[in-house]
């Protein structure tokens, strides 16, 4: 078994940013990635809101720069999936069990990200970045003066819908029930906004479009009436699933399965830190994933400097 100062699980923006810092701090670091380095952001084709790139940047180019910087400072990228973490004997160390091997770690940073819940409809995946989106902050500005729809009824959906009224000509809110779950004040803002049209008791049944999203077909679940809306944007806001399988039962998670961390990105287990979309109370953005990754790395470094 190889022993490392830091094992980072996940090579999305959070894990790569953490590896730049731990590598540069001369901590022997390995980053485990079960897919391609880069994480969720690779699903889209343009990032406009990452600081430092006023004209935007292709996610692949952004991630490639991160990757080069990781390698420059000596961290190793390993193509492997973490399955679980267990204590190494009685000591403070940890063993990360992967599909291929075991990695000894004095500190672990969990940066396994999250996945947006999808509607599960044909064309949905194909039209991501071509009208279908899961993040108003990321993509709202692409829809100036366009007709768009938001699916969902919780706080996030209502906030996203309200934010989108800054850009879109019309925001349809599609909700499968006859009332929203989200906070009353958010509801009132939407009820008062002339740009917003609410479709109660309604589900999306079809997503249409060849190159880009062109329309969605809706069905009222009470009357069975069907209509088609000619929308160019569809924001699906029905929640996220944090990728927490490798640490399930080991570290504290909240009701949504997000890892609970303190202000230093520390979990309730000594030497185990977490960063990015997998942790509680973090905006799901590349910049914040990077920020929390850096914070976790610096906290792990401080922890290891006092390590016996
Ligand atoms: C379509 C889309 C568009 C977006 N657009 C923007 C945008 O314009 N601007 C913006 O700021 N943000 C955007 N985001 C959000 C942004 O991508 C995320 O907030 C960010 O990627 C989170 O980074 P992360 O490192 O925490 O997690 P992730 O990006 O999810 O990366 C986690 C990594 O961990 C790996 N992993 C998971 N489990 C394991 C395991 N057990 N073992 C090994 N590896 C594992 C995964 O394969 C993945 O590579 C967008 C997201 C999506 C889906």
pLDDT bin (cut points 50, 70, 90) of residue 44 is confident
Burial 43-78 (b: 16+ CB within 10 A, else e): ebeebeebeeeeeebebeebbeebbebbeebebebb
Confidence (pLDDT) at 189 = 93
Two domains, one topology: 2-115+240-305 and 132-236: yes
CB of 47 closer than 6 A to ligand 1? yes
Instruction: List the catalytic residue out of 135, 145, 262, 280.
Output: 135
Say how many Å lie between the CA of residue 251 and the centre of ligand 1: 21
Q: How far is residue 122 CA from its own chain's centroid?
A: 22
Going by CATH, does the domain composed of 2-115+240-305 fall within 3.50.50.60? yes
139 is annotated as an active-site residue: yes
Q: What is the pLDDT of residues 4-24, one digit of tens each?
A: 999 999 999 999 999 999 999
Note whether 254 and 261 are within 8 A (CB): no
CATH class, 132-236 region: alpha beta
Residue with the larger pLDDT of the pair 281 and 54:
54
- 54: helix, coil or strand? coil
pLDDT at 2: 87
Distance 283 CA to ligand 1 centre (A): 12
| Residue located via tokens 């990728």 | 243
**Domain edges within the chain:** 2-115+240-305, 132-236
């Amino acid at each position: 078994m190889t022993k490392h100062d830091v094992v980072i699980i996940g090579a999305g923006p959070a894990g790569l940013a953490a590896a730049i810092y731990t590598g540069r701090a001369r901590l022997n670091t390995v980053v485990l990635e079960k897919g391609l380095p880069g994480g969720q952001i690779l699903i889209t084709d343009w990032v406009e809101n990452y600081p430092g790139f006023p004209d935007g940047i292709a996610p692949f180019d952004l991630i490639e720069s991160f990757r080069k910087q990781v390698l420059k400072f000596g961290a190793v990228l390993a193509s492997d999936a973490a399955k679980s973490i267990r204590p190494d004997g009685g000591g403070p160390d940890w063993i990360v069990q992967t599909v291929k091997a075991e990695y000894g770690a004095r500190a672990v940073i969990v940066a396994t990200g999250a996945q947006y819940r999808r509607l599960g409809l044909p064309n949905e995946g194909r039209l991501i970045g071509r009208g279908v989106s899961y993040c108003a902050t990321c993509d709202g500005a692409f829809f100036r003066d366009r007709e768009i729809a938001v699916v969902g009824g919780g706080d996030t959906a209502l906030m996203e819908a309200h934010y989108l009224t800054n850009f879109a000509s019309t925001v349809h809110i599609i909700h499968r029930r006859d009332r929203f779950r989200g906070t009353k004040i958010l509801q009132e803002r939407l009820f008062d906004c002339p740009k917003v049209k609410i479709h109660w008791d309604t589900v999306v049944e079809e997503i249409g479009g060849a190159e880009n999203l062109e329309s969605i077909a809706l069905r009222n679940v009470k009357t069975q009436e069907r209509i088609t809306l000619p929308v160019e944007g569809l924001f699906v806001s029905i929640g996220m699933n944090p990728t927490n399988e490798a640490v399930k039962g080991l570290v504290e998670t909240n009701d949504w399965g997000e890892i609970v961390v303190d202000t230093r990105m520390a979990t309730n287990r000594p030497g185990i830190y977490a960063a990015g979309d997998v942790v509680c109370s973090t905006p799901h953005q590349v910049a914040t994933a990077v920020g929390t990754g850096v914070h976790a790395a610096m906290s792990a470094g401080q922890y290891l400097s006092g390590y016996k």
